[in-house]
């Protein structure tokens, strides 16, 4: 028993060596791949050098030749590697390698960033995750939030875009003004709105005397207002670009034919800006799903609420449980890791989160492709 | 004699448009209202904010007092954080732009299965949310210190390296699309005139890439300047090289509900971007929009 645990503890080291060797291989492939993958034109130019190499038929000599030789092919491959290494190296080191480590950690009971003691526990995290009502709750809240959010943002953004594409005097001022909140990061905006909800509005008294951020559902509405205010101007710009591409003669023709404004909107504008709708819907969906900064500074995931009855029934929870009503998945992962120190479990959540986002992106690609075919 | 009707130079006033104009203006004011609140409350003392958060301040001179408080505050270290933000953002932007451009160029011009695979690797990196790599990333940076003896957490090079990794996919993708549209004949002509490969890139291709370079500067710049999650993990609250968002969060965590301090720091953190926006409005809007459509 102990023996097997020890053996499994070696896994990170083995993984580490594998990953290092993979990256080494990736850097070496340029030399190995040369022979097969060089284009025909370079082969012709490099005919003599190639002959020498094949005579020597030693990899070492070949690599040496590629790095020191003055032939065009040798130069080109040096350039290929040198030009690629900074970006690809950074990407492999900072994204691909941590991702692979992350997949491994999601199968362990990793508990602290630098303790270095984690045991491979197989699918335990994933099984626990699907029986964990907290994760389901935060997933559900994220979905509710994302859906309401994309509706609110896109409705406001499209409305604004329709307004500012009219012949208004201060058209450009409006555009810049509506865009402005988007310049400032979500974190900073969260503090501004925390002040507005908890101080400014409350000071009005009467119906406003209790802050919106006290109760879970109104807090979510409050958050949606903040994010809509932040994002609508940005999405508006996308719609403006699409609306400006609508040919004027179509609109003129419809006016002559006697279509009213609503008919024009329904039958001419909406179909022609459908592409922009797909783009904006997916953009807002993904950003809503990743929501972290704003909610962190607005309420830090508060207010605390009781787990709804139907979810208690679903998971067979007997006693009343409290949950953070604005802990969306991104915040939940962060809290799992840094306040509860269940890093392996948090990492498993992150993997699920990634899979969901990847699926969304695939659906998006599918929609975009289909539209391309239609056009 | 036929009296000609004078041609009207003015279009008749359309009341619908006037109403729309007024309504839009009101809408703009309501959009700007949160900024107005920040501005007026930055000029109040803590007791004044508590008594009346909506009214005008007694004296606008208080804003200087508040700014001085922020400048001297040890948890935000405003000037230090501001310089850090500038150093980190500009270095990352230049590195991402240059390295991604280089990579995209060789990937486009070397038509092999291998370069296609690398390109696909970059593209798939665009889907990856930061949350899925954040925990192992911090572990990795710590491990790199253990193995190499070089500190990576809470340093400029550590965070710039991270930004190169996370900025590369989108930038390579956008450069790739743009470079494909540059005719290869230009490079052939340059080769005949005696240009070496690096010269072709730095003297000929790079100037052509300018428009997309600007787009990426805006897109990545807005992201890096406002980013919170990556710096808070790699640098940490109150770290040596904390950026502005991290510094504001650090301040707001230390002085909970002291709105005079928090709002003044918010004002000071937001002002640089807003000023930049006033000067480069066209570029910023264009960059962010065309980046989204890609």
Dump pLDDT digits (tens) for A284-317. 998 899 889 899 889 888 888 888 888 888 887 8
In this structure, the answer to whether residues A60 and A171 fall within a common structural domain is no
Residue A122 forms part of a structural domain: no
CA dist B55 and B76 (Å) reads: 27
Q: pLDDT grade, residue A194 (50/70/90)?
A: very high
pLDDT the model gives residue B171: 94
For residue B7, give the H/E element and its range: none
CA dist A238 and A273 (Å) reads: 10
Residue A110 forms part of a structural domain: no
Domain of A11, in residue numbers: 2-105
Are the beta carbons of B226 and A185 separated by less than 8 Å? yes
Sign of the dihedral through C-alpha A132, A138, A141, A143? negative
CA dist B127 and B170 (Å) reads: 10
Q: Name the average pLDDT for chain B.
A: 87
Distance of alpha carbon B40 from the chain centroid: 26
Chain B residue with CA closest to A360: the answer is: B127
Ranking A250-259, B79-88, B250-259 by mean pLDDT, the lowest is: A250-259
pLDDT the model gives residue B227: 92
CA dist A163 and A175 (Å) reads: 10
Number of domains forming the structure of chain A: 2
Say whether residue A22 is in contact with chain B using an 8 A CB cutoff. no
Nearest to A239 by CA among A150, A154, A149, A178: A154
**Which residues contact residue A61 at a Cβ distance below 8 angstroms, ignoring those fewer than 6 apart?**
A53
Residue A125 forms part of a structural domain: no
- Which residue(s) pair with A108 in the sheet? A120
pLDDT the model gives residue A39: 47
Say whether residue A90 is in contact with chain B using an 8 A CB cutoff. yes
Q: Which residue, A105, A138, A154, sits at the end of a domain?
A: A105
CA dist B162 and A157 (Å) reads: 33
Are the beta carbons of A188 and B248 separated by less than 8 Å? yes
CA of B60, closest CA in chain A: separation in Å? 19
The CA distances from residue B128 to A229, B97, B122, B279, in Å, are 26, 20, 10, 34
Whether cis (ω within 30° of 0) applies to the bond prior to A303 is yes
Q: Name the average pLDDT for chain A.
A: 80
Higher pLDDT pick, A28 / A335: A335
Nearest to B199 by CA among B190, B210, B208: B190
Identify the burial level of B4 via C-beta atoms within 10 angstroms of its C-beta, where 0-12 means exposed, 13-18 middle and 19 or more buried.
Answer: exposed
pLDDT the model gives residue A5: 39
| Interface confidence: ipTM more than 0.90 | no
- Helix and strand numbers (H, E) in chain A are 20, 2
Q: DSSP labels for B149-203?
A: ----TTSHHHHHHHHHHHHHHHHHHHHHHHHHTS-HHHHHHHHHTT--HHHIIII
pTM of the model: 0.83
Chain B residue with CA closest to A336: the answer is: B135
Q: B13 near B238, Cβ under 8 Å?
A: no
**Angle (nearest 5°) at CA B110 between B104 and B116:** 70
The CA distances from residue A185 to A31, A132, A249, A327, in Å, are 45, 33, 41, 19
Q: B270 near B78, Cβ under 8 Å?
A: no
Q: Which value, to the nearest 10 degrees, does the dihedral of the CA atoms of residues B267, B273, B274, B278 take?
A: 160
| Crossing angle between the packed helical segments B113-125 and B156-180, to the nearest 10 degrees | 120
Of residues B54, B229, B263, nearest to A292 (C-beta)? B229
Say whether residue A70 is in contact with chain B using an 8 A CB cutoff. no
pLDDT the model gives residue B34: 92
Dump pLDDT digits (tens) for B64-101. 888 888 888 888 889 999 999 999 999 999 999 999 99
Q: DSSP labels for A4-68?
A: HHHHHHTHHHHHHHHHHHHHHHHHHHHHHHHHHHS-HHHHHHTHHHHHHHHHH--HHHHHHHHHH
End-to-end CA distance of chain A: 63
User: Residue A131 in 3-state DSSP?
Assistant: coil
Sign of the dihedral through C-alpha A332, A334, A338, A342? positive
Task: Flag whether pLDDT at B294 surpasses 60.
Answer: no
Neighbours of A214 (CB within 10 A): 15
In this structure, the strands spanning A304-306 and A322-324 are antiparallel
The CA distances from residue B139 to A120, A121, A335, B238, in Å, are 17, 19, 17, 19
Test mutation, B130, B136, B270, chain A, max A CBs within 10 A: B136
In this structure, the answer to whether residues A163 and A277 fall within a common structural domain is yes
pLDDT the model gives residue B174: 92
Chain A residue with CA closest to B129: the answer is: A354
Nearest to A185 by CA among B232, B44, B260, B30: B232
Are the beta carbons of A237 and B285 separated by less than 8 Å? yes
Task: Flag whether pLDDT at A9 surpasses 60.
Answer: no
pLDDT the model gives residue A3: 38
Of residues A84, A91, A334, nearest to B169 (C-beta)? A91
Q: B175 near B98, Cβ under 8 Å?
A: no
Say whether residue A314 is in contact with chain B using an 8 A CB cutoff. no
CA dist B226 and B273 (Å) reads: 10
CA dist B220 and A267 (Å) reads: 38
Chain B residue with CA closest to A204: the answer is: B54
Neighbours of A199 (CB within 10 A): 19
CA dist A96 and B22 (Å) reads: 53
Residue A114 forms part of a structural domain: no
Q: pLDDT grade, residue B35 (50/70/90)?
A: very high
Q: A149 near A288, Cβ under 8 Å?
A: yes
Residue A112 forms part of a structural domain: no
Residue A58 forms part of a structural domain: yes
**Which residues contact residue B133 at a Cβ distance below 8 angstroms, ignoring those fewer than 6 apart?**
A94, A95, A98, A99, A102
Dump pLDDT digits (tens) for B130-183. 999 999 999 899 888 888 888 888 889 999 999 999 999 999 999 999 999 999
Higher pLDDT pick, B162 / B50: B162
Q: DSSP labels for A200-215?
A: ITGGG-GGGGS-GGGS
For chain B, give every domain's residue range. 82-225+282-293
DSSP E strand stretches across A159-289: none
Q: What is the CATH number of the domain that holds A242?
A: 1.10.3720.10
In this structure, the answer to whether residues A90 and A190 fall within a common structural domain is no
pLDDT the model gives residue A2: 37
Say whether residue B139 is in contact with chain A using an 8 A CB cutoff. yes
Of residues B106, B140, B164, nearest to A83 (C-beta)? B106
Higher pLDDT pick, A96 / A14: A96
**Tell me, which fold does domain B82-225+282-293 have in CATH?**
MetI-like fold (1.10.3720)
CA dist A34 and A66 (Å) reads: 9
CA dist B26 and B100 (Å) reads: 44
Nearest to A89 by CA among A32, A31, A24: A24
Chains A & B: contacts with CB separation below 8 Å: 263
In this structure, the answer to whether residues A171 and A76 fall within a common structural domain is no
- Which residue(s) pair with A304 in the sheet? A324
CA dist A162 and A171 (Å) reads: 11
CA dist B44 and B53 (Å) reads: 9
In this structure, the answer to whether residues A152 and A36 fall within a common structural domain is no
pLDDT the model gives residue A375: 44
**Angle (nearest 5°) at CA B11 between B5 and B14:** 130
**Dmax (CA) of chain B:** 101
Task: Flag whether pLDDT at B201 surpasses 60.
Answer: yes
Q: A139 near A30, Cβ under 8 Å?
A: no
Neighbours of B62 (CB within 10 A): 17
Residue A142 forms part of a structural domain: yes
Say whether residue A33 is in contact with chain B using an 8 A CB cutoff. yes
């Amino acid at each position: 028993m102990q023996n097997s645990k020890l053996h499994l503890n070696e896994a990170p080291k083995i993984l580490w060596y594998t990953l290092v060797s993979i990256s080494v291989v990736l850097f070496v492939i340029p030399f190995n791949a040369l022979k097969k993958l060089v284009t025909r034109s370079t082969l012709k130019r490099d005919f003599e050098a190639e002959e020498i190499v094949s005579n020597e038929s030693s990899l070492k000599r070949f690599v040496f030749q590629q790095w020191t030789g003055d032939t065009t092919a040798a130069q080109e491959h040096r350039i290929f590697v040198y030009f690629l290494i900074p970006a690809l190296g950074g990407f492999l080191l900072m994204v691909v390698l941590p991702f692979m480590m992350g997949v491994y950690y999601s199968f362990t009971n990793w508990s602290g960033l630098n303790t270095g003691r984690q045991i491979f526990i197989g699918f335990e995290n994933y099984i626990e995750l699907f029986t964990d009502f907290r994760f389901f709750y935060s997933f559900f809240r994220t979905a509710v939030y994302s859906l309401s959010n994309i509706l609110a943002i896109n409705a406001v953004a499209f409305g604004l875009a329709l307004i500012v594409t009219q012949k208004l005097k201060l058209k450009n001022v409006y555009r810049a003004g509506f865009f402005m909140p988007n310049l400032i990061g979500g974190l900073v905006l969260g503090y501004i709105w925390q002040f507005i909800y908890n101080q400014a509005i409350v000071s009005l008294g009467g119906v406003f005397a209790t802050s919106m951020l006290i109760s879970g559902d109104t807090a979510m509405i409050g958050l949606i207002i903040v994010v809509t205010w932040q994002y609508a101007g940005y999405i508006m710009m996308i719609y403006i670009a699409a609306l400006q591409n609508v040919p004027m003669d179509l609109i003129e023709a419809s006016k002559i034919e006697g279509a009213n404004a609503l008919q024009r909107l329904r039958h001419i504008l909406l179909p022609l800006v459908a592409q922009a709708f797909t783009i904006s819907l997916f953009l807002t969906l993904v950003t809503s799903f990743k929501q972290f900064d704003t909610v962190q500074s607005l309420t830090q995931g508060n207010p605390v609420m009781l787990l709804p009855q139907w979810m208690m029934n679903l998971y067979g929870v007997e006693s009343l449980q409290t949950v953070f009503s604005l802990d969306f998945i991104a915040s939940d992962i962060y809290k799992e890791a840094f306040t509860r120190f269940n890093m392996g479990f948090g990492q498993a959540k992150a993997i699920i989160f990634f899979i969901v986002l990847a699926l969304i992106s695939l659906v998006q690609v599918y929609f975009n492709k289909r539209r391309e075919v239609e056009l | 004699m036929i009296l000609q009707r004078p041609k009207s130079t003015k279009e008749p006033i359309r009341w619908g448009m006037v109403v729309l104009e007024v309504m839009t203006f009101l809408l703009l004011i309501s959009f700007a209202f949160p900024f107005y609140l920040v501005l007026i409350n930055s000029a109040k003392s803590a007791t004044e904010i508590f008594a009346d958060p909506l009214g005008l301040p007694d004296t606008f001179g208080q804003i200087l007092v508040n700014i001085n408080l922020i400048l001297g505050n040890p948890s935000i270290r405003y000037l230090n954080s501001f310089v850090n933000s500038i150093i980190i953002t500009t270095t990352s932007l230049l590195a991402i732009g240059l390295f991604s451009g280089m990579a995209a160029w060789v990937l486009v011009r070397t038509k092999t299965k291998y370069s296609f695979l690398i390109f696909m690797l970059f593209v798939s990196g665009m889907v990856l949310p930061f949350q899925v790599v954040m925990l192992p990333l911090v572990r990795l940076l710590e491990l790199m210190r253990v193995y190499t003896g070089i500190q990576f957490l809470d340093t400029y090079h550590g965070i710039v390296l991270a930004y190169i990794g996370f900025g590369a996919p989108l930038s390579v993708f956008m450069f790739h699309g743009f470079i494909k549209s540059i005719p290869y004949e230009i490079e052939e002509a340059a080769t005949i005139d005696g240009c070496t490969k690096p010269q072709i890139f730095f003297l000929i291709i790079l100037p052509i890439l300018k428009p997309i370079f600007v787009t990426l500067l805006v897109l990545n710049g807005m992201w890096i300047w406002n980013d919170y999650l990556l710096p808070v993990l790699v640098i940490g609250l109150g770290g040596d090289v904390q950026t502005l968002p991290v510094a504001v969060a650090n301040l707001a965590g230390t002085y909970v509900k002291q709105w005079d301090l928090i709002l003044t720091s918010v004002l000071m953190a937001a002002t640089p971007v807003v000023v930049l926006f006033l000067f480069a409005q066209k570029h910023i809007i264009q960059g962010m929009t065309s980046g989204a459509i890609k």
